[in-house]
Amino acid sequence: MANTTEQSEQFPTSQKPAISVRGVTVRLAGDSGDGMQLLGSQLTNTSALAGNDVATFPDFPAEIRAPRGTRAGVSGFQVQFSSDEIFTPGDGLDALVVMNPAAMVTNIGDLKDGGILIVNTDSFDKKDLKLAALDKNPLEDENLSEKYRVIRVSMTKLTRGAVEELGLSPKVADRCKNFFAMGLVFWLYGRDIEPTLRFIDAKFKGKPEIADANHRALKAGWNYGETTEDFASTFSVPAAKLGPGTYRNIMGNQALAIGLITASKLSDKPLFLGTYPITPASDVLHELSKYKSYGVRTFQAEDEIAAVCSAIGASFGGSMAVTTSSGPGIALKGEGIGLAIIMELPLIVIDIQRGGPSTGLPTKTEQSDLLQAMFGRNGESPMPVIAASSPSDCFDVAIEAWRIATRFMTPVMLMSDGYIANGAEPWKIPDVASLERIVVKHPAGDSSGEQYKPYERDAMLARPWALPGTEGLMHRLGGLEKQDGTGNVSYDPENHEHMTRTRAQKVANVAEVIDDIEVYGNNSGKLLVVSWGGPFGACRTAVDQCLAEGHDVSHVHLRWLNPFPKNLGDVLSSFERVLVPELNSGQLRMLLRSQFLIDIDGLNKVQGKPFAVSEIIEKIKSYA
């Protein structure tokens, strides 16, 4: 059931004065077992419910439980909540909560001068320091208090005290300390604790004792802020002026799952997901497997290859077929995708990118699969490529990908990345009635006895989608080259060239139905920033700031990478310089240069981290 909240007042209400600020960036960092991701998602949800615009950046190690207390095991969650419209989780931190020394030394560099540092002092003993490979206690650094507002809290002890009456074991009691930290942060930023109390009740439904303990820890953290002298005031972040409508907070992979189900309903085609677990794509499987009452069939295959092949089998049968993965899995699916291309069956292939090559950086973000999406198959095998720009945009691109896949009878590659997949932002819930239907036609049965021609094409060069079970339309699809029209195996040299060009032209025809690119800022000028995928937010924010400071800069963001929008060449040539910031070594830049013969600059970062807005601003200003 949905809980609809009007923008709520803080509960309980603090008696201390509140300083109103436009926005805040907070990072919560601790051991991977400390529950930082949970804390972060609660803070995000609560802030969204308070009407703020939010953007998040969860950052966690690839190991499920890296050695406790070590730097490798540090898990972080960054959230920016604001009264302005925001597109990124923020650059510098206004506040940093650290649960141990490893978390402190790996994150403190991002805390702004004068920022608030909240420390759990109970985990800074000799052993903790050794685990973090520190010779001396960083809390004893004399400059610390000069540089930051340091709040030392004995969180473990205070939490134990708060739950003492319940008689829990110290181990269980200590697990509640993230809720203590949460209570303190909620107090500091005037967040409502009600939604989190509800969350605790739901999460620990069968364990009332644990639920009770977490309630107490949360309230104890809140009370700590209210009663101690550490803080003279709280901060308040007024609601953002988001457009009218009903909103919910949504993560990228969630939005993707919901978008896929929506596309399934809009096209009246049952959704089949053939997939294999891989970070950071598995959550799409987890989400979709919940929605059986929506007719969603999820198949966890034996491997990536079986995953794509099962989806193609389902597509042949008339389902909305989807396969999800990340870079390494997409590499394995290559042959299967090529088969879908030559069989000309609709399919959505979702690549939620991570650092590569090979296993690379499974939990870190990167945009280095663009060329794989474009060319990572044998033979000449073009396919449309679409990329999401933010968590909520995943909803829209999922629908658009299926619209194109069915209209053109082609697999479509949908690109997301770890940053978008795990990031969250408010999503304005669309009006169901306003969503455009996806019209899919299947040829009707034929009892004339004439041989059916599965490769007869329409004006866009798409072939018909004839389904097994239809009388008289029996036909065989396969990986051998087809004779156009009949679909029979053909080794004819002229036909092969004709078919190769036809498949390419069909994909090029997608440009006829997609939107032209819109320029943000002036339509011509000195510098154009071109982005795709996850860097949208950082680029838009940077361009906004530079425009406000009077710089001559514009921005376009590409949703379709193949084909490019028809007006893109004209747009690019209307600017003196073009800059493409990408989290790779220049893959979109390579495509743009080769297609448009325009010199293009790159801003390239391959650190497994998203762009900071400041990095892009600095680059833009270097053109002045």
Partner 1 sequence: MSVELPVLKPGDFASDQDVRWCPGCGDYSILAQMKKMLPTLGISREQTVFISGIGCSSRFPYYMNTYGLHSIHGRAPAFATGLKSTRPDLSVWVITGDGDGLSIGGNHLLHAIRRNIDINIILFNNSIYGLTKGQYSPTSAVGKITKSTPAGSIDHPLRPLTVAIAAEATFVARSVDFHIKHLGETLKKAAEHRGTSFVEVYQNCNVFNDGQWSYMTDKETKDDNVLVLEAGKPMVFGKDGNKGLRLNGFQPQVVEIGKDCELDEILVHDPTVADPTTAFLLTRLQYPRFPEPIGVIRDVDRPTYDFMINDQIEAAVESSGEGNLQDLFTRGDTWTVD
The DSSP symbol for 256 reads H
Q: 274 near 309, Cβ under 8 Å?
A: yes
Under a CB-based contact definition with an 8 Å cutoff, are residues 352 and 534 in contact? no
Stretch that binds partner 1, among 106-114, 313-321, 567-575, 613-621 (CB under 8 A): 313-321
* Cβ nearer to partner 1, comparing 337 with 561: 337
Name the amino acid, one letter, at 90: G
Work out the angle between the directed axes of helices 155-163 and 208-227 (0-180°, nearest 10): 130
Q: Which is nearer to partner 1, 94 or 400 (CB)?
A: 400
Binding test (CB under 8 A) with partner 1, winner from 12, 138, 430, 565? 430
Write the DSSP symbol of residue 485.
B
Q: How far apart are CA 364 and CA 92, in angstroms?
A: 19
Task: Give first-to-last CA distance, the chain, whole Å.
Answer: 53
Distance CA 465, CA 197 (A): 51
Contact with partner 1 (CB under 8 A) among 14, 470, 483, 567: 470
Q: Which of 54, 281, 301, 542 binds partner 1 (CB under 8 A)?
A: 301
**Residues from 231 through 270 that contact partner 1 (CB under 8 A):** 239, 242-249, 258, 261-262, 265, 270
In this structure, what token pair is assigned to residue 533? 């995928």
Sites for partner 1 among residues 37-96 (CB under 8 A): 45, 48-49, 51
Query: Any idea what the Cα angle at residue 142 is, between residues 138 and 144, rounded to 5°?
Result: 65
Residue closer to partner 1, measured from CB, 55 or 95: 55
119 counts as binding partner 1 under rule CB under 8 A: no
One of 309, 398, 404, 420 touching partner 1 (CB under 8 A): 309
The answer to whether residue 477 forms part of the interface with partner 1 (CB under 8 A) is: yes
Is it true that the peptide bond before 563 is cis, omega within 30 degrees of 0?
A: yes
Measured torsion, CA atoms of residues 110, 115, 118, 124, in degrees rounded to the nearest 10: 60
Q: Which of residues 13, 227, 233, 451 is near partner 1 by CB under 8 A?
A: 451
Q: Give the nearest distance from C-beta 9 to partner 1 in angstroms.
A: 13
- Tell me the closest approach of the beta carbon of residue 330 to partner 1, in angstroms: 16
Confirm if 307 and 323 have CB atoms less than 8 A apart.
yes
Q: Which stretch in 120-128, 211-219, 223-231, 300-308 sits in contact with partner 1 by CB under 8 A?
A: 300-308
The minimum distance between CB 370 and partner 1, in angstroms, equals 25
Contact indicator for 103, 29 with CB cutoff of 8 Å: yes
Query: Judged by CB, which is closer to partner 1: 443, or 569?
Result: 443
Q: For partner 1, which is the closer residue by CB, 40 or 521? A: 40
Size of the site for partner 1 (CB under 8 A): 78
- By CB under 8 A, tell whether 305 contacts partner 1: yes
| Residue from 19, 474, 513, 598 in contact with partner 1 (CB under 8 A) | 474
**Shortest distance (Å) from residue 3 CB to partner 1:** 5
Among 102, 108, 162, 343, binds partner 1 (CB under 8 A): 343
Q: Pick one of 478, 516, 585, 598: the residue that binds partner 1 (CB under 8 A).
A: 478
Beta carbon of residue 414, minimum distance to partner 1 (angstroms, whole number)? 19
Task: Specify the 3-state DSSP secondary structure of 358.
Answer: coil
CA separation for the pair 546, 538 (Å, rounded): 12
| Residue 172 C-beta: closest distance to partner 1, Å | 28
Per CB under 8 A, the segment of 3-11, 72-80, 161-169, 499-507 that binds partner 1 is 3-11
Whose Cβ is closer to partner 1: residue 178's or residue 249's? 249
Query: Would you count residue 473 as binding partner 1 (CB under 8 A)?
Result: yes
41 sits in which H/E element = helix 36-49
Interface map 320-339 toward partner 1 (x if CB under 8 A): -x-------------xx--x
| CA distances (Å), origin 26, targets 81, 111, 203, 289, 608 | 9, 9, 24, 33, 20
- Quote the least distance from Cβ 308 to partner 1, whole Å: 8
Binding window for partner 1 (CB under 8 A); candidates: 366-374, 410-418, 477-485, 585-593 = 477-485
The reply on whether position 357 binds partner 1 by CB under 8 A is no
| Cβ 232 vs Cβ 16: under 8 Å | yes
Minimum CB separation of residue 8 from partner 1 in Å reads 8
Structure tokens at 230: 């550490």
Q: Is 195 in the site for partner 1 (CB under 8 A)?
A: yes
Q: Interface with partner 1 includes 450 (CB under 8 A)?
A: no
Q: How far is the CB of 21 from partner 1 (least distance, A)?
A: 20
Minimum gap (Å) between residue 218 Cβ and partner 1: 17
- With contacts defined by CB under 8 A, name the span among 296-304, 494-502, 533-541, 567-575 that binds partner 1: 296-304
Which amino acid, 554?
Answer: S
* Segment 360 to 399, residues that bind partner 1, using CB under 8 A: none
Which range of residues in 86-94, 107-115, 425-433, 491-499 is near partner 1 by CB under 8 A? 425-433
CB count, 10 Å around CB of 161? 14
Helix (H) or strand (E) holding 321: strand 320-325
Q: Which is nearer to partner 1, 365 or 392 (CB)?
A: 392
Residue count of the chain, please give it. 624
Long-range pairs for 469-474: beta carbons < 8 A, 24 or more residues apart: 470/442, 470/443, 470/444, 470/445, 471/445, 471/446, 471/447, 472/445, 472/446, 472/447, 472/448, 473/443, 473/445, 473/446
Q: Which amino acid is at 578?
A: V
Among 18, 134, 429, 508, binds partner 1 (CB under 8 A): 429
Distance CA 30, CA 139 (A): 16
Applying CB under 8 A, among 204, 235, 316, 520 the residue interacting with partner 1 is 316
CA pair distance 323, 305, nearest whole angstrom: 10
* Complete DSSP assignment for 129-189: HHHTT-SS-GGG-TTHHHHSEEEEE-HHHHHHHHHGGGT--HHHHHTTHHHHHHHHHHHHT
φ and ψ at 373, to 5 degrees? -60, -40
Give the residue with the Cβ less far from partner 1, 121 or 300: 300
Q: Write out the binding residues for partner 1, residues 486-525 only, by CB under 8 A.
A: 488-489
Tokens of 12: 């309980």
Give the count of alpha carbons within 13 A of 479, CB side only.
10
